């Protein structure tokens, strides 16, 4: 078995992670064995072991890869906006866009596999902190009405966590991407000056 060396990935490894991510987003990861993945990707198990020493750790690496890519896309969407109201809408809508390709199977696999769930939870907390900053910037620029920033951020964070846990999907029928779109609309309309 090849030892995993932390640090930069080769181009081939990055491409393999992208292919694994596409596969996992569509079909989840719990049902696959390493043999299945090697056959599906037409590579050796040794090649997969170069990414992670086990199937479980490979799933975590792919989930991390997903969030790394999603964060770059989300921040790029925010950077294109100059108005504070458009920045917060761009942020939450970009999160929705990033979640759109994720099947319910993938999200359920993440939710039921503690190490992958931990990655999602950490990224949800980071996203909630980012929304808090965007709200604060909007209030300071007088684009948003004065609200208790800590309360608004906690309310949004709890909603984001409920989306991440699948509670919103179960209670409303909205998938995660749709729920983030609704959250963006709600937040934007509730913060705007009259």
Domain boundaries, the chain: 11-191
144 forms beta bridges with: 192
* CA atoms of 133 and 139, how far apart (whole Å): 10
The rounded radius of gyration (Å) of the Cα atoms in the chain is 19
Residues of the chain with pLDDT under 50: 1-5
CATH code given to domain 11-191: 1.10.357.10
Mean pLDDT in the chain?
90
pTM of the model: 0.84
Q: Provide the pLDDT for residue 3.
A: 39
For 34-71, give one letter per residue: b (16+ CB within 10 A) or e: eeebbeeeeeebebbbbbbeebeebbbbbbebbbeebb
């Amino acid at each position: 078995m090849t030892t995993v060396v932390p640090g930069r990935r080769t181009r081939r490894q990055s491409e393999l992670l992208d292919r694994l991510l596409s596969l996992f987003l569509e079909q989840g990861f719990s049902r696959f064995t390493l043999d299945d993945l090697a056959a599906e990707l037409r590579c050796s198990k040794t090649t997969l072991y170069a990414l992670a020493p086990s199937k479980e750790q490979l799933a975590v690496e792919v989930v991390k890869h997903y969030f790394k890519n999603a964060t770059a896309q989300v921040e790029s969407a925010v950077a294109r906006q100059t108005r504070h109201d458009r920045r917060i809408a761009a942020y939450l809508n970009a999160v929705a866009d990033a979640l759109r390709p994720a099947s319910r199977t993938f999200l359920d696999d993440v939710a039921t596999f503690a190490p992958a769930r931990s990655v999602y939870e950490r990224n949800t907390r980071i996203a909630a902190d980012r929304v808090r900053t965007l709200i604060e910037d909007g209030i300071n620029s007088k684009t948003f009405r004065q609200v208790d920033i800590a309360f608004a951020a906690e309310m949004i964070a709890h909603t984001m966590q409920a989306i991440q846990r699948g509670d919103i999907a179960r209670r409303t029928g909205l998938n995660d991407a749709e729920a983030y779109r609704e959250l963006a609309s709600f937040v934007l309309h509730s913060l705007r000056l009259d």
